[in-house]
Each structure stands twice: as structure tokens, then as C-alpha cells.
């Protein structure tokens, strides 16, 4: 049973722990690792009171990278999060809930189709929106009700197969395919519906159709309602919105690291893991020379390809499975334009650019995956009179992005924007930031779940059950999913540590 919140333990100083067993070493100070460590200390201090976090880089946050300068503030990795209760709790525990900012839940989203930006359905306009034809809407409605669809096959389906079978070609081509590109930078013909969009997949399993599954879920919740909401959390945001912090997403990992204090060690590069005395010895290269930590449980929140060599000697099958996960490249490109550069039909009466952003189906001749209207979403992102946009380009179907220079990438993003959003005769784009991530987003392709199970099973079979796998290739790629899983992962590794400590007594 987890302990309540408490302040730092006076005996927690990592320097005094180098030659003693720690309960948990969290490897990786991205958001997954940091939330896991914070949850260990706030929720599971009785099971795992001695925790350390190690990070090979010289800063925390992983791919969460906020920059600022010349009146602009921009993100070079994720741009926002779904403000679920886990995300709000992480912010409360880190002391930054007062810095939360939320986007306008009524802000429209757009898909570029047939030569223009068209709003996606957002409730009352689900019948009248013009992104889909009337036959396409009828096909989708009948399929969702289970009246016009093939039965669920025995084999694992891709996202494309599932959506075409249940909702028809138009929903796939005009909504889901661009959504997959925008969220996963992935190929929906390869992405697993079960692994990538498990909640929707489960609806058909539960109810025989998507609508049937929703009704079954409502009945379950009525019979077995969820526990009361934590009263310490901020009010639940209204509508479908996204969140950030006043000074950007990096606020959260920085705040968690500050709370963790000297439990976090930067520029500690893990070189090996080996069993020792009922736990594990982790050897590091550090700025101060080689160091070793001993732990009863190890929480690996590294990317799968970075975790693979660490377990290769003991569990080669686990290493093979981990190394097989695909991480295609993505570039995050932030550009700025005067508000007057936005096409007149896309500007609000006050001259601003309304909306959340836009997605670009691969069939529409646009290279970029999607564009976020950063300065429309959150305050303080651009000087008055300027519009800041964040373009994503690359992904599973455009891997050559890593071979292009910044100028070529910016030119492509600018050309795409002039075909959709910016006036063709607008002044040149102002380059704010370009970040190319050679290995960006893990692909939850068909077979992902089985491969992950194989990696876990191989570790257990090798006697490495105390080395647990976490991170976005386990949790899901969305920032909110990583945070949510961090709480689950903390409970998992705390139980492992407590059991190991009990055996050692």
C-alpha cells in the first residue's frame, strides 16, 4: 500500500547511497522516468524509499525541449498534452499546477482536402461538415452501429484495415490517415489498431460494434462507477482541449527534477547492468569517472533501441525484440509570419489566426504532416502582430528528411503553408527553430504487443525480472499517456523492490 506524500528524506542524499542498495534506479530522465520517480516518492515511499534517477544527457526532459528568444517561445518536440487527471496530478505534485494553460476547447481543427482547409466535426456540425460526402457519412454511421461492416477477423488488424472495415474509405482517407500521420508520423497500413488505438479497438470487442461498445462501457460504468476524483486536482477542463504551461512544456520536467534534488544525476551514461546479491549493479561513465549503483529494481525508461544493448548479454531475445521497434525521423519546424500574411479567409475579424491546427493527408500533395497554430493555442508564444506555427515533417513515409539541411526543410514547410494557409505573395517565413530528431516516435505497428511481451518474457526467463521496461514505446506516444503510465509503472517497480527487499531480510 502506497504511503502518503512526504518531503525529501534527510537520508536520501545519493552521495551517501553509492555503496548501499537503492530500492529503485530509474534509468532515463525523460518525462516517463521523472514521473515514475516522483510517483515512487509521493505514492510508494513505504515500498521504495530510496530512489535515484540517472540520465546520460546534461538536461532532463528527454524530447521535451522548450526554447525562447526574440519574443518567441516554441517547442522542439511534443507541443501539448491532453490534460487527463494523471497529467494534472503530476503538475500538482511538482508544484506547477498554477502555471497550467489550456487551449480553447472550441478551437477548430482542419484537414486539407480537395484544395482547401476544411474543419473536422466537433459535435453539432457532425452532419453538416463538408470534409466528407453524404454517402461517406451514411457509411460511417451505419458501420459504427454495426449495420454495415464485416465481422472482426481473427488476425491483428492495421489501423487502415479496422477503419475501412468499420467506418468506410472516407473516414479513413480524410480523418484517420492524417491523424495517424500527425500523432505517430506513421503509416496506418502498418500501425496496429489494437496497440495504437486500443480504446477504440476494445469497443468493438466489447459490443460487436463501435456504438455497441460505447453502450456496453456506459453500462459497466453505471454498475461499477470509477472512484471519486482526487479533490486536490484542478477542475476538470471543459470540452476537448489541450494543455501546456505558461513557459512551455519543459516546465514540468524541470519542476519534477527540482523536487527530486540530488536523486537526479545528469551525464551518467549507463554502460552495463549485472545481477548482484539479489539485485542489480549498474555501471556508469560519469564526469567524475566510473560509478556503480546497486538497486533492487531497475526501471528502464530509455528508448527501446537504447535499452537493447544493455540487456543483450543476459537476454539476447529481449535485445532483439527491443531493437526491432521502428523510430522514424521527424523534424519540428517553427516558423513565424506577420498576421497579415495569413489568407484573408482564414483570419478572424481581429486579424488573428483562429484554430488549433491542421492535418495533411498523404494523398493531397503536401509533404508536411501537419501544422500547429502555436500562438493561437497558448499565450506568450509570439510578439503582437505575429503568428507562430509549428510544422512537423518526415515520419515513416518520408525518412529522407534526415538527409536534408535546415534551409531545405524550411523551404518545404513554407511552400506547403503557402499552398494552404499563407498568402502566396507573403514575405519570407521567419525561421524560429528547426530540430531534426533522427529517431523520433516509436511505431506501434502490427505485432507490437507480441514483441513487447516477448522482450518482457525473455528478461523474466533470464532471471532479470527486476529489470522493468517503461517509456513511450510501452505507454503510448502521447505525452499524457507517458505521464499516466508513469504512475502505473511506479506501482509496478515499487512492488518489485519491496519483494526483493523482503527476500533479502
Read off the pLDDT of residues 450-460 as tens digits, 9 standing for 90 and up. 999 999 999 99
At 153-175, the pLDDT tens digits run 999 999 999 999 999 999 999 99
Rg (C-alpha) for the chain, rounded Å, is 24
pLDDT at 9: 40
Output the nine-digit C-alpha cell for 99: 502555471
Question: In Å, what is the CA distance from 99 to each residue of 5, 30, 248?
Answer: 21, 20, 9
Classified as helix, coil or strand, 360 is coil
**In a 10 Å sphere around its CB, with 0-12 CB exposed, 13-18 middle and 19+ buried, how is residue 465 labelled?**
middle
Band of the pLDDT at 124, cuts 50, 70, 90? low
Q: Which helix (H) or strand (E) holds 449?
A: helix 448-461
Alpha helices (runs of H) in 324-405, residue ranges in sequence order: 374-377
pLDDT at 121: 87
Give the separation between CA 140 and CA 459, rounded to whole angstroms.
43
pLDDT at 125: 66
In sequence order, the β-bridge partners of residue 349 are none
Read off the pLDDT of each residue in 215-221 and give the average, rounded to a whole number: 94
Across the chain, mean pLDDT equals 94
The beta strand positions in 236-313, using DSSP E, are 243-245, 264-266, 269-276, 279-286, 289-300
Q: Which helix (H) or strand (E) holds 27?
A: strand 21-27
- Cα–Cα nearest to 276, from 314, 303, 312, 238: 314
Give the separation between CA 489 and CA 498, rounded to whole angstroms.
14
User: Residue 5 pLDDT > 70, yes or no?
Assistant: no
Sheet holding 330-338, edge to edge: 116-119, 109-113, 357-359, 370-372, 386-394, 330-338, 430-437
Give the Cα-Cα-Cα angle 206, 210, 213 (nearest 5 degrees).
30
Contact 383/430 with Cβ under 8 angstroms?
no
Classified as helix, coil or strand, 412 is helix
Give the separation between CA 342 and CA 360, rounded to whole angstroms.
18
User: Residue 128 pLDDT > 90, yes or no?
Assistant: no
User: Residue 69 pLDDT > 50, yes or no?
Assistant: yes
Length of the chain: 505
**In a 10 Å sphere around its CB, with 0-12 CB exposed, 13-18 middle and 19+ buried, how is residue 4 labelled?**
exposed
pLDDT at 4: 34
Give the separation between CA 255 and CA 264, rounded to whole angstroms.
12
Contact 242/356 with Cβ under 8 angstroms?
yes
Percentage of the chain with pLDDT > 70? Answer: 95
pLDDT at 8: 38
**In a 10 Å sphere around its CB, with 0-12 CB exposed, 13-18 middle and 19+ buried, how is residue 196 labelled?**
buried
Cell 483562429 sits on residue: 354
Contact 253/33 with Cβ under 8 angstroms?
no
Band of the pLDDT at 14, cuts 50, 70, 90? low
Read off the pLDDT of each residue in 220-230 and give the average, rounded to a whole number: 91
User: Residue 15 pLDDT > 90, yes or no?
Assistant: no
Give the separation between CA 302 and CA 293, rounded to whole angstroms.
17
At 311-345, the pLDDT tens digits run 999 999 999 999 999 999 999 999 999 999 999 99
Question: In Å, what is the CA distance from 456 to each residue of 121, 225, 494?
Answer: 40, 32, 17
Give the separation between CA 482 and CA 487, rounded to whole angstroms.
9
Please give the DSSP secondary-structure letter assigned to residue 188.
T
Read off the pLDDT of each residue in 68-89 and give the average, rounded to a whole number: 96
At 279-323, the pLDDT tens digits run 999 999 999 999 999 999 999 999 999 999 999 999 999 999 999
Which of the pair, 232 or 90, is modelled with greater confidence?
Answer: 90
User: Residue 357 pLDDT > 70, yes or no?
Assistant: yes
pLDDT at 6: 33
Alpha helices (runs of H) in 73-129, residue ranges in sequence order: 85-94
* Domains delineated in the chain: 10-63+246-326+444-504 (3.50.50.60), 123-223 (1.10.3110.10), 328-437 (3.90.660.20)
Cell 460494434 sits on residue: 209
Amino acid at each position: 500500500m502506497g504511503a502518503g506524500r512526504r518531503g525529501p528524506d534527510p537520508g536520501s542524499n545519493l552521495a551517501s547511497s553509492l555503496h548501499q542498495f537503492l530500492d529503485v534506479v530509474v534509468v532515463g530522465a525523460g518525462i516517463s522516468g521523472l514521473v515514475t520517480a516522483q510517483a515512487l516518492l509521493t505514492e510508494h515511499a513505504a515500498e521504495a524509499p530510496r530512489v535515484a534517477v540517472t540520465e546520460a544527457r546534461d538536461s532532463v526532459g528527454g524530447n521535451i525541449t522548450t526554447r525562447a528568444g526574440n519574443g518567441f517561445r516554441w517547442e522542439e518536440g511534443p507541443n501539448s498534452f491532453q490534460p487527463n487527471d494523471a497529467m494534472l496530478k503530476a503538475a500538482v505534485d511538482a508544484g506547477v499546477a498554477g502555471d497550467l494553460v489550456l487551449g480553447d476547447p472550441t478551437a477548430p481543427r482542419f484537414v486539407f482536402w480537395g484544395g482547401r482547409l476544411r474543419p473536422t466535426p466537433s459535435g453539432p456540425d457532425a452532419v453538416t461538415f463538408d470534409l466528407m460526402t453524404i454517402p461517406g457519412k451514411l457509411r460511417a454511421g451505419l458501420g459504427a452501429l454495426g449495420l454495415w461492416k464485416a465481422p472482426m477477423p481473427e488476425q491483428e488488424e492495421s489501423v487502415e484495415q479496422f477503419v475501412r472495415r468499420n467506418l468506410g474509405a472516407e473516414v479513413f482517407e480524410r480523418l484517420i490517415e492524417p491523424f495517424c500521420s500527425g500523432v505517430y508520423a506513421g503509416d496506418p497500413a502498418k500501425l496496429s489498431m489494437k496497440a495504437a488505438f486500443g480504446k477504440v479497438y476494445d469497443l468493438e470487442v466489447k459490443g460487436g460494434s463501435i456504438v455497441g461498445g460505447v453502450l456496453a462501457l456506459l453500462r459497466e460504468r453505471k454498475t461499477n462507477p470509477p472512484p471519486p476524483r482526487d479533490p486536490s486536482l484542478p477542475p476538470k477542463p471543459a470540452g476537448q482541449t489541450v494543455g501546456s504551461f505558461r513557459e512551455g512544456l519543459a516546465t514540468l520536467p524541470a519542476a519534477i527534477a527540482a523536487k527530486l534534488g540530488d536523486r537526479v544525476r545528469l551525464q551518467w551514461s549507463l554502460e552495463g547492468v549485472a545481477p548482484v546479491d539479489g539485485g542489480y549493479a549498474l555501471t556508469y561513465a560519469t564526469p567524475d569517472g566510473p560509478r556503480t549503483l546497486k538497486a533492487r529494481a531497475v526501471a528502464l525508461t530509455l528508448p527501446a533501441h537504447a535499452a537493447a544493448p544493455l540487456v543483450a548479454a543476459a537476454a539476447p531475445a529481449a535485445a532483439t525484440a527491443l531493437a526491432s521497434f521502428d523510430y522514424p525521423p521527424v523534424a519540428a519546424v517553427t516558423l513565424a509570419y506577420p498576421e497579415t500574411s495569413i489568407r484573408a479567409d482564414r483570419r478572424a475579424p481581429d486579424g488573428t489566426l483562429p484554430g488549433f491546427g491542421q492535418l495533411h493527408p498523404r494523398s493531397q500533395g503536401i509533404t508536411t504532416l501537419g501544422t500547429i497554430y502555436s500562438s493561437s493555442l497558448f499565450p506568450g508564444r509570439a510578439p503582437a502582430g505575429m503568428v507562430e506555427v509549428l510544422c512537423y515533417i518526415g515520419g515513416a513515409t518520408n525518412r529522407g528528411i534526415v538527409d536534408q539541411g535546415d534551409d531545405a526543410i524550411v523551404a518545404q514547410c513554407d511552400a506547403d503553408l503557402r499552398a494552404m494557409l499563407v498568402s502566396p505573395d507573403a514575405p519570407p517565413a521567419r525561421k524560429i527553430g528547426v530540430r531534426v530528431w533522427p529517431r523520433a516516435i516509436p511505431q506501434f505497428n502490427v505485432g507490437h504487443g507480441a514483441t513487447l511481451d516477448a522482450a518482457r518474457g525473455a528478461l523474466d526467463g533470464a532471471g532479470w525480472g527486476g529489470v522493468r521496461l517503461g517509456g513511450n514505446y510501452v505507454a503510448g506516444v502521447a505525452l499524457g499517456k507517458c505521464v499516466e503510465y508513469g504512475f502505473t509503472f511506479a506501482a509496478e517497480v515499487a512492488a518489485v523492490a519491496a519483494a526483493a527487499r523482503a527476500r533479502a531480510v
